[in-house]
Amino acid sequence: MALGATSCTACDAGKRAVAESVNCTACEAGTYSSSRSENCTLCGKGFVSSEPKSTFCTACEGGKVQPLAGQSLCASCNAGFYQAATGQSACNFCDGGKYSSSSGALSCSSCPAGSFSSTNATACIDCVEGRYSGEGRSSCDLCEKGFYALSAGSTGCVACALGTAQPRNGSSSCIECEAGKYQSSTGQTSCQTCNAGEVSAIVGSASCDSCEPGRYQSLTGQTACIDCTVGTYGPSTALQSCILCDPGYNARKPGSISCERCNPPEMSFGYGGANCSSCQTEYYKDTLTGKCIQCDEEKAKCNNEENGTTLLTINVRKGYYRFDPSSEEIYECPFLDNCQGGLSTGQESCRSGSFGALCELCDDNYYLEGDTNTCESCDNATSGSKVIVLFIVGGVLFVLAIVIIVLMMYNAQRLSEFYMEHEERILQLSAKVTALIVTMQIIVLVNDNHRDLEGATLPQPYGRFLDSLSFLALDMVEFVPLSCLFGRVSHLQGLMAWTVGPLSLIALVSILIVLSKHEQRKVVS
C-alpha cells in the first residue's frame, strides 16, 4: 500500500501480494495465480507454466508428461513408452508385440509378421530360423514337426516336400529320406521303409520302384534288386523271391523271367535246375561227349531220379562187372554171386573173398563153392558136403583101381583074348574118345583162358554148354576146396594142372596097360 493511501489495491492475475509491500510480486514459472491472489499456486502433475506471471497452467500434450507439481516444462515419453492423453503425469509402456522407436510417442506400433517384441520395446526382433510369427506378437512360435522355416523373420512354416521329413519342432530344414526309404506325402514327420519287392536307390525318393521281372528283393528298406539265381525265374514285378524251375525245366542264366523245357532224353531232376545236364530215367550221361545214352536195363539200372545217372554213376546189376568208371562195357560174371554190382567197378565190385577180372578168382583162405559158384571162406570148408564126397569118391576110385589092377593081373588071359579079338575096334574107339575129350578140353580151356585174361564171354547158350563141360578140364578146384589145403591156385598153376593132369592120367593108364601085357606074356610063355 502507498504512503498516505486510504485503502489497498488488488494484485493482477499472475501476481501475488506480499504483506506490507507497496508492489505485487510476479508468480514464478511453474506456478500461477488469479487476480487478487495473495499466493501463487503450484501447477499440478501433468501441467506446467513455462513463464512467470502465469495466470493458468498448461496441460502436457500427448507424448509428454510431468510427474511433479510446480514444473515449468513437460518431459517427452522415452522410446518404448507412449502417452496418448494430455495432462498426464506418467507414460505408458508398450505392450509385448508393440514398440515405439522414438521419444514422445503418442502410441505404440505393432510388430510386423515375422518379428516379435517384449514390453517397453523400442524395436521388433526377427524370428530366428525354425520359428515364425504373425503381426503384433510378443513371441515366435516353433514350426511343428513336418514343417520348417528356412530363414529368419518367417511369417509362417513350410511343409516338408515329397521325399523329405522332419521329426522335430522348430527346424529350419527337412531331412531327405535315405536310400531304401521314401515319403509320398508333404508335411511328414518320418520316412517310410520300402516293402520287400521294392527298392529306392537314391536319397530323397518320393516313392519306391518295384523290382522288374527276373529280379527280386526279399528284405525291406533295400536300395537294389537282386537277379534271380540260375535255376529260378521271376515272371512278374515286385517279387519278394524267385520261383524254382519245375523238374524237366531249367534257367541257365541269372535274371531269367521264365524256364526253358529240357529236350528229352536230357533232363533236370528236382526243382531249381540250372541246366539240362542230367539224363532221364533209363539213360546215362556220357561225360566225354555230353550225350545221353540209353542203358542196357538187363545189365544196369539208370533210374537215379535225384541227380541223373552219368557214365561214372552207372548202377550195375548184381552178377555183372564193369572194369572202371570210364568203361561203357558191362560183362556178365561167370560166377554171378561173386559180382556185387552197384556203383563200384573193378575189384571193388567183387564179393568179399573174390578178385580178378569178372571176380572169377578166390583169395587166399577162400575156395570156390560149386553149388553157389561163390568164393567161400576156408573156415567153413571142412563142414562142407563136398569134402566128404571127395574122400568117399576118392576112396571108391582107389579101391576100384586096385580091383581093376588085380582083375587085370588074374584075368590077363581073358583080357588078352578079348583085346586080340577086338583090338582094332578098341583102338579106333579109344582114339575117337580121346580125340573128342582132348578137343573139348582145348575148347573149354581156351574159353576159360580168354575169359580170365580179357573178360570176354561167349554168346549164350553156347557159353553155358561149354561151362557144362568144364569137368573135362579136370579142374578139381571147382569141385573141392583144394586151395584151402595147398593155397590159392593161380591161373598159370591151373593152366599147368589142366595140361599136366591129363598127361599124367594117360601115363598111368599106359603103365597099367604095359603091366597087363607083361603079365599076358608071362602067362603065354
Tell whether 17 is covered by a domain. Answer: yes
Q: What are phi and psi of 49, to 5 degrees?
A: -130, 120
Domain-ending residue, one of 37, 56, 91: 91
167 and 123 share one domain: yes
85 and 150 share one domain: no
Tell whether 56 is covered by a domain. Answer: yes
Tell whether 325 is covered by a domain. Answer: no
Tell whether 364 is covered by a domain. Answer: no
71 and 116 share one domain: no
Cα–Cα dist 188/204, whole Å? 13
Cα–Cα dist 229/506, whole Å? 80
Q: What is the pLDDT along the chain (525 residues), one digit of tens a residue?
A: 445 556 666 787 767 776 666 678 888 888 988 877 778 899 999 999 988 888 899 999 999 999 999 999 999 999 999 999 999 999 999 999 999 999 999 999 999 999 999 999 999 999 999 999 999 999 999 999 999 999 999 999 999 999 999 999 999 999 999 999 999 999 999 999 999 999 999 999 999 999 999 999 999 999 999 999 999 999 999 999 999 999 989 999 999 999 999 988 888 888 898 888 888 888 888 878 888 888 888 899 887 666 788 888 889 999 899 998 888 899 998 888 889 988 888 889 898 888 888 888 888 888 777 656 788 887 766 555 555 555 565 666 667 767 766 666 666 666 666 667 766 776 777 777 777 767 766 666 666 655 554 455 556 666 666 565 555 555 544 545 556 665 655 555 656 665 666 667 666 666 766 665 565 555 555
87 and 115 share one domain: no
47 and 81 share one domain: yes
146 and 205 share one domain: yes
8 and 76 share one domain: yes
Among 433, 442, 427, 432, residue whose Cα is nearest residue 495:
442
DSSP 288: T
- Cα distances from 324 to residues 311, 331, 357, 358, 363, in angstroms, run 10, 12, 11, 12, 21
Domain-ending residue, one of 187, 210, 233: 210
Domain-ending residue, one of 91, 126, 151: 91
Tell whether 482 is covered by a domain. Answer: no
Tell whether 19 is covered by a domain. Answer: yes
Q: What are phi and psi of 228, to 5 degrees?
A: -60, 135
Question: Which domain covers residue 26, as residue numbers?
Answer: 1-91
Tell whether 264 is covered by a domain. Answer: no
62 and 11 share one domain: yes
131: β partners: 142
78 and 135 share one domain: no
Tell whether 104 is covered by a domain. Answer: no
Mapping DSSP onto H, E and C, the string for 296-353 reads CCCCEECCCCCCCCEHHHCEECCCEECCCCCCCCCEECCCHHHECCECCCHHHHECCC
Q: What are phi and psi of 376, to 5 degrees?
A: -115, 155
Domain total of the chain: 2
49 and 128 share one domain: no
Strands 115-116 and 125-126, how do they pair? antiparallel
85 and 126 share one domain: no
136 and 55 share one domain: no
